[in-house]
Amino acid sequence: MTDTRDSYVSQFKDAERHLTRGDDWLTRIRRSAIEQFRELGFPTPRLEEWKYTNVAPIASVPFRISMPGRASSWIQSQLSRTLGPEPRNLLVFENGRYQPALSRLDELPSGATVTSFAEALRDRPKLLEPHFARYAAYQSHAFAALNTAFAEDGAFIKVPSGTTVSSPIYLAFFSDADKPSLSSPRILILAGENSAAKVVEAYFGQGEYLTNTVSEIVVGPAASLEHYKLQQEAEQASHIALTQVEQHRGSRFTSHSLALGGRLARNELRVALDAEGAECALNGLYLASGRQHLDNTTFIDHLKPRCTSREIYKGIVGDSASAIFSGRVLVRPDAQKTDASQTNKNLLLSQDATVDSKPQLAIYADDVKCTHGATVGQLDEEALFYLRSRGVRVEQAKALLTYAFASEMVGRVEVPSIRGQIQKLVSSKLPANLVLEGDR
């Protein structure tokens, strides 16, 4: 396997003088991150956490730092098609860089901050310094190190204490590549005490490119944050994402992950329940077809007592595609009264489709309630026979049963506008192009 790490180190040296300077702390972190990437190199299947995902197709391509976007007409045409009704709060990015001409912020309460990461680095570095690269550990994660070194733009969201943002905040990332290119979006979300917000990350594109994104989320005491991740990258694209969540006392974090696109994609979600009474719910749905490889890796870290976690991921895999679910729940010695459950269910639509499911539960406390489980199976032959006996064509019957399998995850989305868009995205991937009631 060709190792292109020297190419990225060289690009960093060339790009450093153009990156937002900020204060000395930012320069130190970036330089530390590129050195960590040089030492770590790209992960290989010899590492347990990357055992089932071979990133050789990424490591062997000399991706170049993407050029600034120009609010292309292609993106303008994609916005309504991919995000549905016009969002009231929307930040649009092309090739990882903010596009103010396509963005709008119409319904933000007083004191709330929603801006580009580049602007925050330039104008409000003191707000970012206590948080940037403090949660996502680039010291042991090569892709996080690469992102941290090149992080220049993305989104910064700060919801003040006691504030509710009623309309979802959309972060739409579009890649438009005519040659192999790399974008490194960085997202920092700070939810203050007793605040509430909904944030949607959405990724789309065309061409061959690598999106390497890192999100750091801090949920303050008694705060509530709903986070949606819609990944529908281009057919020849790769998508590597790390989301690190830090929760405080009595906070609630809910994640909805939908993975549809990309040739090779890995979505890694790590949640630290670091104060008593924190709760998290992780919901995931992944649909792989063709020769796609979709990896969902999660880690829920119960650090303190009386915390609750609920996790359910479902996968639908067809053709010659492959998928991974690797979910780890760790209950530390001080985390008494933990209540945790983890479930992974997979549906195989062909003989050549493969799924590796690896739920893990490590308990080091003695007063807990924890369960986990996984299933892999095919469509129910009796249900297929029943539908066909009622005059339903075989492909339509398969589509109906497949959607029925996925519908639980779609139904967990409580925001009607987001649920409708997810429903359309899911139905577009089903066999026989099934038209659902909500799509008409």
- Residues 378-401 have pLDDT tens digits of 887 888 777 888 888 888 888 888
- Residues 65-86 have pLDDT tens digits of 887 666 577 788 888 778 877 7
Is residue 76 within 8 Å of residue 185, measured between CB atoms? no
pLDDT of residue 439: 44
Q: How far is CA 202 from CA 247, 269, 333, in A?
A: 23, 16, 37
What SS3 class is residue 56? helix
Backbone angles phi, psi at 31, to 5 degrees: -65, -40
pLDDT of residue 393: 82
pLDDT of residue 51: 94
Rounded Cα–Cα distance for residues 417 and 420 (Å):
5
Residue ranges of alpha helices (H) inside 226-315 are: none
Is residue 208 within 8 Å of residue 235, measured between CB atoms? no
pLDDT of residue 12: 92
Is residue 252 within 8 Å of residue 226, measured between CB atoms? no
pLDDT of residue 428: 81
pLDDT of residue 83: 83
Listed as ranges, residues in the chain with pLDDT below 50 are: 1, 434-440
Contacts made by residues 118-125, CB under 8 angstroms, sequence distance 24+: 118/20, 118/152, 118/153, 118/154, 119/156, 120/156, 120/188, 121/20, 121/22, 121/26, 121/152, 122/20, 122/22, 124/156, 125/22, 125/23, 125/26
pLDDT of residue 104: 93
Is residue 71 within 8 Å of residue 101, measured between CB atoms? yes
pLDDT of residue 380: 79
